[in-house]
Amino acid sequence: MQKIFILFLLIICGYSYSYSEVYQNFDSNDWIYSSNLINPNENIKTCGFYSKKTYGKIYDYFTYYRNTYNNSHMGFETYGYLAIDEKTAVIGNSLRIIVTGGKNSSGEYGAPIFSKEDFLKSDKKEIPQNIKVGHPTIYFCNTSNSDSPVYFPYAKGCNRLSLYVKMPKDLTNGTGGSGNPPQLTVDIGPFNGVGGHWYHGFYNQGGGWTHILVDGHPIHNNSWADAKSYPYPSSSLRDMGTEYFSTMYRWYITFLPYEGISVPPYSVWIDEIEFYNDPEPQNNETINSPAITYHPEPNLFEVGFSDKYKNNEHSDSKYEVRYSFSQITNDNYKDAKPVIVQPDDRYNISMNIDGQFNKFWTYYPNVWAAFKLSPQDETKLTSGTRVYFAIKDISKRPYNIGTFDREGDNAIVPSADGKKRIDLIKRIDYIVDKNVQIVPPKIDDNKNKKRPQKVKNLRIIS
């Protein structure tokens, strides 16, 4: 019944997936809170939630991760706890991560707190001001053993993991300048049966809600020591398709930099986690794991993603972004409007009304730009509105010099009328969160585009 409802919801909102199942939207009563004092669970050492539902003897859980490596390579302990938030969310409720302190290379700040119960008992809640510390990490797992994992049944046949995150406003993606591409702010690490532990990087900044898509094309494998380990030229990988998701059994999300993403106390939110299959043929070669952020107050968007090539001075990629208020496909891409790229001196980005911009630094896969919609379309950005985006690789071809994975880029896609992979779009949508209150001037053409509100969680932890 739940699956049927989800599919109906997606279709009436104008986005059609061949398969979709919500993993966790924090609105369901099927998950039980656990800590050392409340509903203790052997798999949850700090605080978290475990599912009432099982598949065989296996059930899912997610937990606040206690990182004890405490170094600049693997990260530091972050003190804090989890709560369900009914106020700040994309739809319904969200998961709120409250950071109260932690460790970094300069010291320890605050008390070791790993649940709300710890926080309520602690008498050391104040920490020095103006110290950025903490980079919270959440693991999403099931109770199977890593040596003989049971794969997530709801991820079978999917090719996307979708979620929304909201990070502190003062979290930026770097200073830019020579040799300094947009910096990682989010890292997602899936574990699966096609290579173990992978990495997907995201470069969007804090302040607004960010919609993240994890696809089957990661940027790195945890066990690879150097560029020789990569299977294709220019330290590149290719899309692994549905097998990447069908064999997934664990994943985590962490926020960067490890030294601290903001000054405690601060919060990070996660919402609308979903696995789905997008049937539209797409460029999963040179446009990977896209993310879109919306900042309502200045009506500013950000796009971030990874391209395919690393460690190559000739990887001078160029991209175009378009948008629409209806679904974008390869066939109607040219009917969508180009975004208005905004200037950013850090990454040598100029204003461009054609929606075009270049990757900043050739040696890195990090791609990012800020943009706006047309002034008349900004009035449509009310709560519940869905905006559709598509990205296209418009780099010069063939590449003039250097070693590239042309076989992968130029592969013909039969399901896309014989187009090359590199000529296809990569698409992502964005739902304006429930708290945006921009009211258009006496125009009511969005009422049929608003996504219905879900049933609120009755187990709110304030």
- The residue assigned the tokens 């409802």 is 5
Ordered per-residue pLDDT tens for the chain, 462 residues: 333 333 333 333 334 566 566 778 899 889 999 999 999 999 999 999 999 999 999 999 999 999 999 999 999 999 999 999 999 999 999 999 999 999 999 999 988 999 999 999 887 767 777 899 999 999 999 999 999 999 999 999 999 999 999 999 999 999 999 999 999 999 999 999 999 999 999 999 999 999 999 999 999 999 998 888 999 999 999 999 999 999 999 999 999 999 999 999 999 999 999 999 999 999 999 999 999 999 999 999 999 999 999 988 888 899 999 999 999 999 999 999 999 999 999 999 999 999 999 999 999 999 999 999 999 999 999 999 999 999 999 998 766 567 788 889 999 999 999 999 999 999 999 999 999 975 444 444 444 444 434 333 323 333
- The pLDDT of residue 18 is 61
Task: Identify the pLDDT of residue 406.
Answer: 85
Question: Would residue 285 count as lying in a domain?
Answer: yes
Structure letter (DSSP) for residue 246: H
Whether 438 is covered by a domain: the verdict is: no
Whole-number pLDDT of residue 450: 44
Beta bridge partners of 163: 212
Task: Indicate whether 447 belongs to any domain.
Answer: no
pLDDT at 329: 98
The predicted pLDDT at position 9 comes to 33
CA dist 187 → 251, 256, 390, 438 (Å): 10, 7, 22, 31
Kindly state whether residue 10 falls inside one of the protein's structural domains: no
For residue 462, being part of any structural domain is answered with: no
Asked if 211 contacts 164 with a C-beta cutoff of 8 angstroms, the reply is: yes
Rounded (5°) CA angle 154-287-417:
85
Rounded CA-CA distance 180/174 in Å is 8
Q: Is residue 448 part of a domain?
A: no
In total, how many domains does the chain have? 1
Answer whether residue 42 is part of any domain.
yes
Domain enclosing residue 262, as ranges: 19-431
- Residue 42's φ and ψ, nearest 5 degrees, are -60, -20
Within a domain: residue 171? yes
Q: According to the model, what pLDDT value does residue 19 have?
A: 58
